[in-house]
Structure 1
Amino acid sequence: MKNLFWLLFFAAVNAWGDFYQAPLLDAKWQVKTAKLACQLTHHIPNSGRAVFIHEAGEPLRFQLVLENENSVTEASVKVSPAPWQHDGGGGRLFPVSAVEKQGLVGQRLSVQGQTAEIMLAGLVKGRFPKFIYHSQRSDLVDESRVLVSSVRFQEVYGRFQSCRLKLPPFGLKDFQGLRFYFHKHQAHLPTRLHRILPNLAAYLTALGKGQVVIVDPAAGVNGKEGRQWFQKRWQKIRQALKSSGLPKKRLVANSQSKAKAKPKIQIEILGPEGLQLYHYGRRQRGLTPVQKKRLYFLARYVKEFFPGRLVVHGHSDSARWRSEHQSRRLSRQWAERVRDYLVSLGVEKARIAIKAWGSRKRVASNRSKTGQAKNRRVWVEFVEKPALPTRYSQASFRTY
């Protein structure tokens, strides 16, 4: 009987595990405020600290940072009555959304969004959030509990909430993966980009560091015309950010993108200039790597931005040993190569028509090799919605 008593006793101890909380008369909360982040911290002896973090553009996070624990396998949190109140079973248990490493020997248990707001509201009402976590040690699973005190919480809550209300509604994640397309020969900024730039300037100004990098993803393959239009658009963006208060040195183009300032916010801008014309050599049998890369960006532009159709115009020179019929067939073959590669990149074949001109529409004299090289070309025309012009009706969507 005596042995059974001790067996049950130790089983109960192992089931309960450790319990931590700050002394009721010595509970403290510390608040830190900045333009882009607010933090509220409560230290818990022998355990770690409980932290509320609210960053601009992000949901509220509530974390328990365990300083000497690295074997937590699962955890939950709930709002409990204060220790001097009767616990009638406590509130709802919320699963912890993340268990992460903290340094070499610690772990961080986190909840965010609505769950974090519920924990904060509980503290405002004088209740105590309670973390419950299980640790794997050898063959045993221990349960530990950490109580977060609301004693003296009201002394700092007002400052924390005031800081939260001043946070901008946008954060770093709102400026990640920015990509904007322009119509052909469009210099003015797209509406969405025009709206984002003042917010971006305000964010980086408040942060006090970081750079904006304007990138032409097709640089190196879109030729002189592509470079010229990139420069025009880059200058427009530069003026908009400068007028919003961002210093000129914190804005760079892709040629300067090796700058080390962080965070580095990248904005891709792409227009069709330099992506429509493809010359081919007299003995060339397939697309070159540069031409394929250029077509990749053309396909991306068409799939993600341009809603209309394409007409691929094939042209050839008028070599003396080649009949006009052969010239037309050659021009058709090259137009088909371009079309087929666009289709392989995901452009719908039904959106692409082919027009084979042979040598009829030369842009230079065929009397010289230079002129012939200019005439051997494929030109991709953009045809806007709602419908193709009469000469590109559905009936003419064939090769000839």
Structure 2
Amino acid sequence: MRQKHVTNRRIFSYLAILACAFLLSGLAPAVQFGTGLTDTEWHMDANQYYCSFYQPIPQYGVAVFFHEAGETLEFYLESTRNLMAEGSAALTIEAPPWRSSALTDELGYTRVTDKHIPIRIETARAGRMMDELGLGMAPTLTRKAKFGDDRVRVQVSPVNFKQFYNDYLACQAGLLPVNYRQIERSSVSFANGGVDLNARAKIQLDDIVTYLKADDLVTAIYIDAHSDSVGSRYDNRRLTEQRAYKVTDYLVNRGINAGMILTRYHGERYPIANNDTAAGRAKNRRVTVQFDRIDDDPNDPLKGLPKFEAR
């Protein structure tokens, strides 16, 4: 009787193992995209405006580490044919096939959209992905397929990563402090009744000067000064005149061509906030700096920038 009980228990254990194996096999099969030891390629597009460090993923698209001037590092997956369903993809750090003993690390989930750039990953995890590539690990994105029950896995290979990583760091070190979007509608603030540039204003203008000296597609600069409503209209107009020329002179003294600059001053005529409050008056005491820029030049380096929607 005891022998029969032991035999039954063994049969039960065996059936349980078979059941687990059956359940695991029921997981959707994975269709994997990536490269291996012999076909991995890294490429770099480098200039003062952005660094694009990327790996082509055959039959899927491109995995890109992207750092724009004035911004922080991002990772995005550019797809020639997005096979992932909309939703959340798992981001993991896995061993490539030739390092199967290394442990997998999970980095959470990231949003998948049905667009040309279906996946975009923020600075902290993009930096972690780079660190892991340097250690020979493979960042992997997994999501249910758009059609059918398969899972789609896109893996970034660490092969030859270190060979090109120093080129990326050199590009990063040479980026401009700001990009065009950050300066194209700049506003310099002034203290109540004041005409002098404060430290923050000088930093703003220094960044503008650095950018303008690098980008020869900017053809004109418009400086417009405004005041709050405190004081007479005559005094406010004279005050904005002084502020406008403070900004103009600062740019010119740092090497910007005066012939590019149109300087105007408007007194209190164009408020952007309520002059009945201190906060509103502070917003109205401003000098704006705007630009004309050739945006259809085929040689424009900014044309390589991906067009991201707001988060």
Aligned match of 2:38? 25
Distance 1:247 1:87 in 2: 62
| TM-score (norm. length: structure 2) | 0.69
Distance 2:45 2:27 in 1: 38
Aligned match of 2:163? 155
Deviation at 1:19, TM superposition (A): 0.7
Deviations 1:297-349 (A, max 9, x none): 5225x22567xxxxxxxxxxxxxxxxxxxxxxxxxxxxxxxxxxxxxxxxxxx
List aligned pairs for 1:169-180, cutoff 5 A. Answer: 169-172=177-180, 175=183, 178-180=187-189
Distance 2:55 2:87 in 1: 23
Give yes or no for contact 1:234–1:253 (8 Å, CA) kept in 2. Answer: yes
List aligned pairs for 1:143-222, cutoff 5 A. Answer: 143-172=151-180, 175=183, 178-184=187-193, 186-210=194-218, 212-216=221-225
Distance 1:165 1:81 in 2: 30
1:48 aligned to 2:61?
Answer: yes
Deviation at 1:21, TM superposition (A): 0.8
Deviation at 1:246, TM superposition (A): 2.7
Decide whether aligned partners of structure 1 residues 251 and 83 sit closer, same or farther in structure 2, where only a CA change above 3 A counts.
Answer: farther
1:37 aligned to 2:45?
Answer: no
Deviation at 1:201, TM superposition (A): 0.9
Unaligned runs of 5+ in 2: 1-20, 283-311
Distance 1:197 1:52 in 2: 30
List aligned pairs for 1:222-241, cutoff 5 A. Answer: 223-241=233-251
Q: Which residue identity does 2:67 align to in structure 1?
A: H
Deviation at 1:173, TM superposition (A): 6.3
Distance 1:296 1:62 in 2: 38
Deviations 1:186-221 (A, max 9, x none): 33223321232112210232244346543345699x
Give yes or no for contact 2:76–2:117 (8 Å, CA) kept in 1. Answer: no
Q: Which residue identity does 1:94 align to in structure 2?
A: G
Distance 2:105 2:239 in 1: 61
Distance 2:65 2:281 in 1: 42
Aligned match of 1:247? 257
Q: Which residue identity does 2:123 align to in structure 1?
A: G
RMSD, aligned α-carbons:
3.5
Give yes or no for contact 1:49–1:64 (8 Å, CA) kept in 2. Answer: yes
Deviations 1:89-114 (A, max 9, x none): 51123322x54564xxx333111212
Decide whether aligned partners of structure 1 residues 174 and 126 sit closer, same or farther in structure 2, where only a CA change above 3 A counts.
Answer: same
Decide whether aligned partners of structure 1 residues 131 and 305 sit closer, same or farther in structure 2, where only a CA change above 3 A counts.
Answer: same
Give yes or no for contact 1:77–1:129 (8 Å, CA) kept in 2. Answer: yes
Deviation at 1:145, TM superposition (A): 0.4
Decide whether aligned partners of structure 1 residues 206 and 142 sit closer, same or farther in structure 2, where only a CA change above 3 A counts.
Answer: farther
Give yes or no for contact 1:79–1:119 (8 Å, CA) kept in 2. Answer: yes
Deviation at 1:116, TM superposition (A): 0.7
Distance 1:107 1:73 in 2: 14
Q: 2:119 aligns with which of 109, 131, 147?
A: 109
Unaligned runs of 5+ in 1: 1-7, 256-269, 276-289, 307-400
Deviations 1:125-176 (A, max 9, x none): 2221111123443xx5542101111112222211111111233444456546
Aligned match of 1:133? 143
- Rg larger in 1 or in 2? 1
Deviation at 1:33, TM superposition (A): 1.1
Aligned match of 1:83? 97
Distance 2:88 2:156 in 1: 18
Q: Which residue identity does 1:54 align to in structure 2?
A: H
Decide whether aligned partners of structure 1 residues 305 and 225 sit closer, same or farther in structure 2, where only a CA change above 3 A counts.
Answer: closer
Q: How many residues align?
A: 257
Deviation at 1:247, TM superposition (A): 2.9
1:65 aligned to 2:78?
Answer: yes
Q: Which residue identity does 1:196 align to in structure 2?
A: Q
Q: Which residue identity does 1:30 align to in structure 2?
A: H
Aligned match of 2:128? 118
Give yes or no for contact 1:218–1:297 (8 Å, CA) kept in 2. Answer: no
Decide whether aligned partners of structure 1 residues 212 and 117 sit closer, same or farther in structure 2, where only a CA change above 3 A counts.
Answer: farther
Distance 1:100 1:217 in 2: 43
Deviation at 1:39, TM superposition (A): 1.2
